[in-house]
Amino acid sequence: MTFTQPTIDLTAVSPLLALLATAIFLLLLPLFFRSAGRALLAFVAVIGLLISGVCLFRIPVVPISGFDRLLLLDPLAIAVHGALLLAALLTLLISLNRVEDEYLNYGEYFSLLLFSLIGMMIVTSTWNLLVLFLGLELFSIALYTLAGIRKMRADSVEASLKYLLLGAFASGFLLYGMALLYGASGTLQLNEMMLGIEADASTLALIYAGVILLFIGLAFKAALVPFHMWTPDVYEGSATPVSAFMSTATKAAAFIVLIRLLAHSELAIRFPWPQLLIVLAVLTMTVGNLLAIHQKNVKRMLAYSSISHAGYLLVGLTAASSSGDQAVLFYLFVYTAMNIGAFGVLSHMGVSNADERVDFESYRGMGYRSPFAALCLAVFMFSLSGLPPFSGFIGKLYLFSAAVEKGYVALVVIAVLNSVASVYYYMRLVVNLYMRDPAEELSLPRANAGLKAALFIALLLTVLWGIYPSLLTDLLAGISRPLP
């Protein structure tokens, strides 16, 4: 037996290597320099993200593979890596406003954030099911820990435990589906395992079962109904920056894997995805919006809101076309900016380690006490509800247009009605900002430079991508649906 040297292209993994080196350095730095404070560690983390972004920008647009096809950097992966880096950067900046009060080990927190980002980037840039599982577990374990990093708070420990138990249950579905697919095809490469399956009808049922189980595991990560029950409790119990990261980055990673899975299974085995996705989209949008209407807690409202937005993304996914996939990517970018921005304002409202202002009544009169933060929150609410001229409106327009092109008019009508219904609970918060007097004297902590920078970036992108969407669509125009 001859040994073949695997092909290793460091260019393909350079963004991951930059993040890995930064994450390890952040863990070791406080051990050798006890005087390393929050500002220094945050600076190191930001530099690592910027270096990773530069490495990503230097990757050619043609698909390149690293480690003998275990990792693949195609235009789809490169685009979503940009969204993930944006989510991590904004999360890190808003963390600076509260991290001093809530976290005992700054290096540990920033390092876990980067490790979860590495896992998500691995998940979105591989065709290999084993590597996919390893990446998914890497970012999941990091998020389980981040959810409970405020270990002195019972709600954070509860959130971490719930996320861990349900996440492990979903991972079981995912791993069993992978085992069935491997047993039926004899390969771990997603882009190869379904080729020629039609010639062997006896394995078709096994392939179908594997695809369904794999989809269930991914649906949990994307918070699709009926796999959404963990979302409000985990978001409420986690620290606000952690909730912001989970609501955006995890969704982006899951939907990119879904795009790859749907593209291959639909072509190779004619899996009836449209019927399934239509039902799930309607349920996810409707359940998320109906439950968000009754919330009195802003974090829980945003949690149910994130469920409804997963439903909107499913509308674009149902189109099963390159235009639909580009619409999904566009919406992932704009959702990252506006949702992390909204959580950033919530972080600003927090007053101490033991108290967070998360109920709607706490925001009464905020527009006159903290004008910039209130303006940002109002813009994010307008954009999340899909009102022009903000990027949320353009994103939904692209998603719904892609579905209409494929003839799913009834689905788009339901999506539009759900979007209209969501205006109620988003505008309810805006009314409290500007049209109601505070029930008590409202004193807000001083926002630091990191939070101000995050809010400004999120506000700028939310407005800019709404007025000039071509700034983003031109970058996504070359992305085509992945084929076997």
d(CA 318, CA 325): 9
DSSP summary character for residue 250: I
DSSP summary character for residue 352: B
Please identify every stretch of the chain with a pLDDT value under 70, giving residue numbers as ranges: 1-9, 34-36, 61-68, 98-104, 194-202, 265-271, 350-357, 438-447, 478-484
Under 8 Å between Cβ of 80 and 330? no
pLDDT at position 153, please?
77
Nearest to 180 by CA among 166, 168, 197: 197
pLDDT at position 461, please?
93
Under 8 Å between Cβ of 378 and 341? no
Domain spans, the chain: 11-476
pLDDT at position 118, please?
93
Residue 365, C-beta contacts closer than 8 angstroms, at least 6 positions apart:
432, 433, 436, 437, 438, 442
Structure tokens at 137: 């577990």
pLDDT at position 7, please?
62
Burial class, 225, CB count within 10 angstroms (exposed 0-12 / middle 13-18 / buried 19+): buried
| Phi/psi of residue 71, nearest 5 degrees | -120, 140
Under 8 Å between Cβ of 166 and 219? no
* Cα of 149 vs its chain's centroid, Å: 20
Kindly report the pTM of this predicted structure.
Answer: 0.90
pLDDT at position 334, please?
93
Within 10 angstroms of residue 307's Cβ, the number of other Cβ atoms is: 27
Q: Residue 480 is inside which H or E element, if any? A: none
- Taking the CA atoms of 211, 214, 216 and 221 in sequence, report the sign of the dihedral they define: negative
pLDDT at position 354, please?
46
Can you name the residues that pair with 66 across neighbouring β-strands?
Answer: 71
pLDDT at position 323, please?
80
Strands 64-66 and 71-73: antiparallel
